[in-house]
Amino acid sequence: MSDKNSIYYEFGVSPVINAAGTKTRIGGSLIRPEAVEAMREAAESFAVLSDLQSRASRLISELTGAEAGYVTSGAGAGLMLAGAAVLARDDFSAMSRLPETAGIVDEIVMARTHRTEYDHAFRAAGAEIVDVGTNDYHLGTGSTNVEPWELEQAITEETAAVGYIEKSYTQPELSVVTDIAHEHDTPVIVDAAAELPPRRNFSRFIEQGADLVVFSGGKAIRGPQTTGIVAGRQDLIESIALQNLDMHIAGEIWNPPELLDDVDLSNGVPRQGIGRPLKVGKEELIGLLRALELFLEEDQDEQRQRWLRRAEYLDGELSEIDGLDSRIEHTEESIAPEVVVAIDADVVGSTAIEITRTLQKADPRVFLGSDRLHREELVLNPMCLKDDQVDHVLDRIITAINAEYDATATEFMA
Ligand SMILES: *Cc1c(COP(=O)(O)O)cnc(C)c1O
């Protein structure tokens, strides 16, 4: 198998065969080789980081239709910087004080069902999150989680922004939320970290009125794992830049980058902002730009077909085994087709959790999707698998449950 000579072994760490999809804790996605090469070249000389950010802003703007853009050290960092931007706006004094918010409008309103652990980033910037709505949709009575009037009512003089997480199931629709927020001159920040592909999502949320949208660079774009993108309003992106860029410079010799052309810098240079620890290096910036170019050129239908062939093969083989009931889930909204395998623990002799744990402890470690373990289901996502790993994953599952099945009798053909 291709990972035998993995660099991770050299450092005493077992590599992972990834049938779980783009999951941060196992390395996100595989960075494109061309992006690695671009990073290697970038490492050979210096460049002004803010020049690179200005260039990136233009590219992100073309891509998304937003006024401006910025490269961050991940979507999580993008959320924190977006939070810092809606709190401080263009106020250098506020920038220097965050996350302390005495005298600063600091509430971010969110539908309760949009809360995730990623929104800790808003609180880290100094925001206080105001929850709206209920979880009643899950009662199955037809009741919705959040009514537009509830959001409307929660927006007050103390509101700095509305936070929104974009998933195919989130309610209310983004355009409804942006309409309400904009009536109160309140910006909307959208977490769309994992909503690519399809490529049209680059512009979709901006078209629906989002003021800032955050994407991960280390998921399907396959840039460096420590990158993200923020696209949105010029004034808010400027605020992000001012709070993220290194500001240790004398005003007299500072050449502000094109990105800050519209900022009034007559009073001098702002202090290092709260975003300064979220530095993005020149190599990551160039790596992401190259990855973005390639993501734009990629034939996404062909790629989906490739993922589907892996999924169909796994589904076909697994459904042959007693105690496993396999199916493919593949909807318009899903990023990749997934193989869902229901486990009959009485027949198989192990639960979904036990199988998952066994595979994770193998060498190399094998990771499956784990979001349906509570339903006794394994999930196999083909998007981060290599063709020559497909049979290995099958083999590990079969070994883990001692199934009487000859996995070597078939072979995956890409
Ligand atoms: C992955 C993810 C993030 C964090 O992205 P990073 O690029 O790893 O910082 C934030 N929000 C959601 C919904 C995500 O899926």
CB-CB neighbours of 60 under 10 Å? 26
Can you tell me which atom of ligand 1 is nearest the CA of 217?
7
pLDDT confidence of residue 405: 65
Best mutation site among 191, 201, 212, 381 for ligand 1 pocket (most ligand atoms within 8 Å of CB): 191
Q: Verify that 151 and 194 share a domain, yes or no.
A: yes
CATH, residue 381: 3.90.1150.180
Q: Verify that 157 and 198 share a domain, yes or no.
A: yes
| Centroid of chain to Cα 176 | 23
Q: Is the pLDDT of residue 182 over 70?
A: yes
pLDDT bucket at 407, cuts 50 / 70 / 90: low
Q: Verify that 264 and 332 share a domain, yes or no.
A: no
pLDDT bucket at 251, cuts 50 / 70 / 90: confident
Cα distances from 284 to residues 73, 225, 321, 340, 359, in angstroms, run 8, 9, 45, 35, 32
CATH, residue 175: 3.40.640.10
Q: Verify that 240 and 115 share a domain, yes or no.
A: yes
Kindly state whether residue 406 falls inside one of the protein's structural domains: no
Q: Is the pLDDT of residue 215 over 70?
A: yes
State the pTM of this model: 0.93
Range of the domain at 379: 7-26+299-400
Domain closes at, from 253, 268, 297 = 297
pLDDT confidence of residue 252: 87
pLDDT digits (tens, 9 = 90+) for 274-313: 999 999 999 999 999 999 999 999 998 999 999 999 999 9
* Å from CA of 193 to ligand 1 middle: 5
Q: Is the pLDDT of residue 99 over 90?
A: yes
Q: Which residue has the tokens 């600091």?
A: 106
pLDDT digits (tens, 9 = 90+) for 332-376: 777 899 999 999 999 999 999 999 999 999 999 999 999 999 999
Domain closes at, from 265, 297, 329 = 297
pLDDT confidence of residue 138: 84
Sequence-distant (6+) residues with CB within 8 A of 203 are: 63, 64, 65
Secondary structure class of 15 (helix, strand, coil): coil
d(CA 232, CA 321): 50
Q: Is the CB of 335 under 6 A from ligand 1?
A: no
Which of 326, 350, 325 minimizes the C-alpha distance to 339? 326
Q: Verify that 179 and 96 share a domain, yes or no.
A: yes
Kindly state whether residue 42 falls inside one of the protein's structural domains: yes
Q: Verify that 381 and 317 share a domain, yes or no.
A: yes
Domain closes at, from 228, 262, 297 = 297
